[in-house]
Amino acid sequence: MADIIQLLPDHVANQIAAGEVVQRPSSVVKELLENAIDADATVIKLIIKDAGKTLVQVIDNGKGMSATDARLSFERHATSKIKTADDLFDLHTKGFRGEALASIAAIAHVELKTKQAEEEIGSSIVIEGSNIVSQEVVVTPKGTSLSVKNLFYNIPARRNFLKSNTVELRHVIDEFHRVALAHPNISFALYNNGSETFNLPVSNYRQRIVNIFGNKTNEKLVPVNEETEVLEISGFVGKPEFAKKTRGEQYFFVNNRFIKSAYLNHAVSSAFDGLLKNGTHASYFLYLTVNPQTIDINIHPTKTEIKFDDEHTLYALLRSAVKHSLGQFNIAPVLDFDHDPNLDTPYNYNRSTNNEPKIEVDRSFNPFQEDKSSNRKPISYKKEVTASWDSLYVGLESKGTKTQHDFSEVHFESENNTESLFEDSKLDTNATTYQLHNKYIVSAIKSGMLVIDQHRAHQRVLYEDFLENLTVKGASSQQLLFPLQLHFSTQELEILTELKEDLEHTGFIFSNVTKEFVEITGVPVSIPESEVSIILEQLISDVENEVPDSNFSITDLLAKSLAKSLAIKTGQPLKKSEQEHLVNSLFACKEPNTSPTNRTTFVTMSVDELDKKFI
């Protein structure tokens, strides 16, 4: 029998490896930024076009490479970070496998320009699909500039799997945030389609967080610091009152490397027990420093997951550190109502010095000396003469010696109509609908019974209303007495700017949109002012995570998001008139059978089906 096993060609092996390393443009951004950091760069610029599909370029002022190293960097598993297998357990760099550039060059057009500080000229290499087109000397500044153009140009199937530019840009900015937050000692800049999105100067951890997420973030942060022999924890957690419905601002860094860990996330969440509202998530930016020999980074292709030797100890330390910070800064409530915060044990207690109390004595005081100031004269009060008292009765009519009152037009103060504390056990025989467990609306029909999910039904009604307002552009709005100023991050404000025109068609009125906040002077009639910030946060989250392909428009997504946020919730009691109005509005819709998310809104049960239940 002939041999059937053969070695894959290098270009095919590189494309297979690219499937693990390069999933989308953000993967390229991550690898190139980490290479620039490993090159000891102090200034890094990221330039992208069309969310990275057309161009991803990273420019740094690092060490650069020689002509030989520039050529070898595109070979498979060529690296300067490790030499033996033992080096995998003592890593101090970002990249170490040496497969990133080879994988990227297999599926894109790559141009590299690099020069070392001691050299007069640099090297330039152009590669297209693993094939070297040219390599020549070039005049270029110190450092490295690497451009990745036309990603997945030779794999159309992979390119078709990419999402819209809005979604891909969100992933790119997420990777940029992760790298920038881990290295505040490096200056970063991001340029998107020719405009500057971020310009982050060298700073400390707190200032880097504020520069990325906005100035209002500063007042939301609570510092966390803990040092032990096993683990060193530093960073910040968000105050519970600023918790969001999304998990966007949750970052773990282990030895300056961003990681994802559901186990450690649970430790932080448990420290917030009793402090967060249902459905909200606290923000945190936590930097963990551990011995590199106690972790294994090489368990995931993207190196975002880490295996710890002793996870249980890290869990306990992290939970107690966060809980201590919340208590130290009076975030967590206490049961002692006479509690004095000045008596709390400070963080720096072991380094503090005791202040001895001082006693001051008035040595000239004589208790037997008569106090002359106590010989006071008695105070006399004079009765003030008021105006003529009879003027109080001017206008009153009297007949004879006795006053007669006419009680024919006596008005009593109206009493407030208060509902009974207990529900009436008698059913309203005239009612056509009944509410079951504050969740379902039951209505009688000719063939039997109709059961409606009130939340899904209201979603369908609001969805078609918003869709009509967005299409016809005739929604009404209510003016606010005072303008509402809402603060968002740079990325969130860009999304709101894109949606501004569509939101105005639903009834929102924006008076000012800056790089730090938006000012709203009018909202749709159906939206209370207190819910505006929650609705916009939910809308931004939906746009970031659920933007569909070209089959659906942004108008459809906007209507779905607003309907989901404003629909009556399960557990909300409804009056009879509200129940009937909801039923009538539902069956006036074009598609009453399903909610905007294609879930059933009502079910019917015939009399025959009910009769069978009693057999």
Report the DSSP pairing between strands 187-192 and 43-49.
Answer: parallel
Q: Decide: pTM greater than 0.85.
A: no
Q: Other C-beta atoms within 10 Å of 330: how many?
A: 12
Closest by CA to 303, choosing from 593, 68, 20, is: 20
pLDDT at 261: 86
What is the C-alpha separation between 491 and 415, in angstroms, rounded?
A: 54
* 470 Ramachandran zone, left/alpha/beta (phi>0; psi -120 to 50): alpha
Helix segments in 189-261, DSSP class H: 205-213
pLDDT at 113: 94
What is the C-alpha separation between 154 and 160, in angstroms, rounded?
A: 12
Q: State the Cα torsion 111-115-116-118 to the nearest 10°.
A: 170
Tokens of 480: 């606010």
Residue 136: strand, helix, or coil: strand
What is the C-alpha separation between 496 and 226, in angstroms, rounded?
A: 39
113's enclosing H/E stretch is strand 109-115
Q: What share of the chain is helix, strand, coil (3-state, %, to 5)?
A: 35, 20, 40
What is the C-alpha separation between 510 and 484, in angstroms, rounded?
A: 9
CA distances from 443 to 67, 76, 430, 432 (A): 80, 69, 12, 6
Q: State the Cα torsion 470-471-474-479 to the nearest 10°.
A: 10
Residue with tokens 């519970």: 240
pLDDT at 333: 57
Boundaries of every domain in the chain? 10-202, 209-328, 434-603
pLDDT at 343: 60
536's enclosing H/E stretch is helix 532-546
Contact call for residues 151 and 168 (beta carbons, < 8 A): no
pLDDT at 549: 44
* Residues in the chain with pLDDT values less than 50: 399-401, 403, 418-429, 431, 547-551
Number of H helices, E strands in the chain: 15, 22
Helix segments in 118-198, DSSP class H: 156-160, 165-182
Residue 187 φ then ψ, to 5°: -85, 130
Burial of 505 (0-12, 13-18, 19+ CB in 10 A): middle
Residue 60: strand, helix, or coil: strand
What is the C-alpha separation between 543 and 495, in angstroms, rounded?
A: 8
What is the C-alpha separation between 109 and 149, in angstroms, rounded?
A: 5
CATH number of 10-202: 3.30.565.10
CATH class of 434-603: alpha beta
Contacts of 408 (CB under 8 A, 6+ apart): none
DSSP string, 371-432: -GGG-PPPP--PPPPPSPGGGGGTT---BTTB----GGG--PPPPP-PPPSS--SS--TT-S
Tokens of 237: 């957690």
What is the C-alpha separation between 104 and 512, in angstroms, rounded?
A: 43
Q: Which residues of 142-175 are buried (b: 16+ CB within 10 A; e: fewer)?
A: bbbbbbbbebbebbeebeeebeebebbbbbbbbb
Contact call for residues 581 and 457 (beta carbons, < 8 A): no
Residue 297: strand, helix, or coil: coil
What is the C-alpha separation between 163 and 22, in angstroms, rounded?
A: 15
Any idea which architecture 209-328 has in CATH?
2-Layer Sandwich (3.30)
Residue 290 φ then ψ, to 5°: -130, 170
